[in-house]
Amino acid sequence: MASRCRRRLAPQAFPLELRGKHALQPSPSLAHVLRCSQCGDVIGVYEPLILVTNGFPRATSLASDPAVSGARGEPYHRECYDTMVDDALSKGDADG
């Protein structure tokens, strides 16, 4: 007869949001997830992003500037922003 393992995982093996009475509450770190204003996908910590504030774009990433997650403005993936600007420029060339 095979013995059953009775070891229990230490509580530290699970993130805080998965333990005890807080099991169904979202992780506080997920509250500040940045989503691209163009495509709606999550912008990863190490992905280059463009933050447009008061009409001025700024290139950065969450890894290099964590304060960006709380900054006001419109975040974009760099590729989405470049595509959006290229489309706007080509539309302007077609109109004028």
Q: Does 14 fall in a domain? A: no
The residue-averaged pLDDT of 86-91 equals 91
DSSP reduced 3-state for 1: coil
Number of domains in the chain: 1
pLDDT in tens, 70-86: 888 999 999 999 999 99
The full 3-state SS of 8-36, as one line of letters, equals: CCCHHHCCHHHCHHHCCCCCHHHHHCCEC
Q: Considering the domain boundaries, does residue 23 fall inside one?
A: no
Range of the domain at 57: 33-95
Asked whether residue 76 is assigned to any structural domain, the reply reads yes
5, part of any domain? no
Q: Residue 20's pLDDT is what? A: 53
Q: Considering the domain boundaries, does residue 3 fall inside one?
A: no
pLDDT score of 32: 67
Which has more pLDDT, 3 or 67?
67
Give the tens place of pLDDT for each residue, 24-60. Answer: 444 445 456 889 999 999 999 999 999 999 999 999 9
